[in-house]
C-alpha cells in the first residue's frame, strides 16, 4: 500500500497489466481528507483513463468513506505511467503482452544501449588488442593480448610520456592500429650511433630491447605535436626511423597490461631515461 500526504494511500491495483491496448486495472485510492468531494487526477507516460481515447486527466468522486476507484487502461506497448493527485504519486507498469512485443520494446533497446556503451568504452576508455608481429619483442611477443587505456589520451587530453608503450594509427598505412614505444617527445633530438640511441645527446640505457640497433640514424629534432616511436625489437621494427614522427592526433591509447596467454599476464611499465621501469600512470 503506497502512502502519500494528507492521509492519501493506494489500496490496491492489478500487479501485472499486459500492454495489449484493452486490459485495465482499477486503482483503489484512500483519500480520507476528500471524502464526499471530487478530486482531479493526472496521468503521465503511457496508458489512459479512457478505453477509447487517450485521456490524461480525470475527475473522480470520492465516497463518504474516503475511497475512490480509478480505471487505467493499458497502452499497446510496454512501459509505465505515473498517476498523481492530491497528496500522492503512484507508478503503474505495463508488461509485454507477447514475446515479439517484449523483443521489440525491451530486448532490442537494452541490447542497443549495451552496444552503444560498449562502443563508447572501446573508443574512449579501454580496448583489447592482439600483437601480430615481433616488432616489440621481448616486451610484447606475437600472440599476446593486451589492454589499451584510452581515457587519459582521448578524454583527459594527457600527453604521451617518454618510455610509454603507445597504440596509434599509422600516419599513412591503413588497417589495424600499430604499437611502439615513445622514444622522443616534441622538441627532443633523437639519433642512433654505434648501436646506441641518443636522446638530447644522452645515451639511453635500454635493457628492455631485444638487441642493439645495427644501423645508425642521423640526428633528428621531433616536431611540435609529434612523437618519435621505436619498436623494442630494434632491428625488426618498422618505426619512425622509416616513416617519420607520429602526429599527436594519431595516438589512440596506452598499453597497460597483458592478459593472455596466462604465463605472460603482467602490468606493462614505461621506462625512464636510464632504462629503469616505472608503473605507467593509471596502471
Residues catalogued as catalytic: 135, 180
- One-character DSSP codes across 142-153: TT-EEEEE-HHH
- For residue 162, what is its C-alpha cell? 617518454
- For residue 103, what is its C-alpha cell? 523483443
Whether 257 contacts 139, CB under 8 Å = no
d(CA 234, CA 211): 7
d(CA 16, CA 96): 10
Place of cell 473522480: 60
d(CA 259, CA 10): 54
Integer Rg of the chain from CA: 33
d(CA 125, CA 149): 6
* Signed CA dihedral, 237, 238, 244, 245: sign only: negative
Whether 65 contacts 52, CB under 8 Å = no
- One-character DSSP codes across 49-80: SSSSS---EEEEEPPTTSEEEEEEE--SSSEE
Amino acid at each position: 500500500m503506497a502512502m502519500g500526504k494528507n492521509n492519501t494511500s493506494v489500496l490496491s491495483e492489478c500487479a501485472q497489466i499486459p500492454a495489449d491496448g484493452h486490459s485495465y486495472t482499477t486503482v483503489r485510492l484512500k483519500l480520507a481528507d476528500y471524502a464526499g468531494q471530487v478530486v482531479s487526477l493526472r496521468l503521465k507516460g503511457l496508458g489512459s483513463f479512457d478505453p477509447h481515447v487517450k485521456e490524461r486527466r480525470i475527475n473522480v468522486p470520492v465516497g463518504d468513506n474516503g475511497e475512490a476507484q480509478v480505471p487505467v487502461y493499458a497502452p499497446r506497448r510496454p512501459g509505465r505511467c505515473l498517476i498523481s493527485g492530491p497528496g500522492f504519486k503512484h507508478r503503474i507498469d505495463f508488461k509485454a503482452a507477447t514475446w515479439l512485443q517484449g523483443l521489440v520494446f525491451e530486448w532490442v533497446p537494452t541490447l542497443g544501449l549495451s552496444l552503444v556503451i560498449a562502443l563508447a568504452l572501446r573508443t574512449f576508455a579501454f580496448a583489447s588488442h592482439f600483437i601480430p608481429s615481433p616488432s616489440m619483442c621481448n616486451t610484447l611477443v606475437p600472440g599476446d593480448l593486451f589492454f589499451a587505456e584510452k581515457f587519459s589520451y582521448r578524454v583527459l587530453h594527457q600527453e604521451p610520456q617518454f618510455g610509454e608503450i603507445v597504440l596509434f594509427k599509422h600516419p599513412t598505412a591503413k588497417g589495424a592500429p600499430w604499437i611502439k614505444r615513445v622514444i622522443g617527445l616534441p622538441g627532443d633530438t633523437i639519433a642512433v650511433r654505434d648501436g646506441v640511441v641518443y636522446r638530447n645527446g644522452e645515451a639511453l640505457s635500454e635493457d628492455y630491447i631485444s638487441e642493439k640497433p645495427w644501423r645508425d640514424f642521423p640526428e633528428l629534432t621531433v616536431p611540435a605535436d609529434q612523437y618519435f616511436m621505436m619498436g623494442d625489437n630494434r632491428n625488426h621494427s618498422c618505426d619512425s626511423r622509416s616513416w617519420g614522427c607520429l602526429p599527436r592526433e594519431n595516438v589512440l591509447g596506452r598499453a597497460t597490461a597483458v592478459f593472455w596467454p596466462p604465463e605472460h599476464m603482467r602490468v606493462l611499465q614505461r621506462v625512464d631515461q636510464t632504462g629503469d621501469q616505472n608503473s605507467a600512470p593509471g596502471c
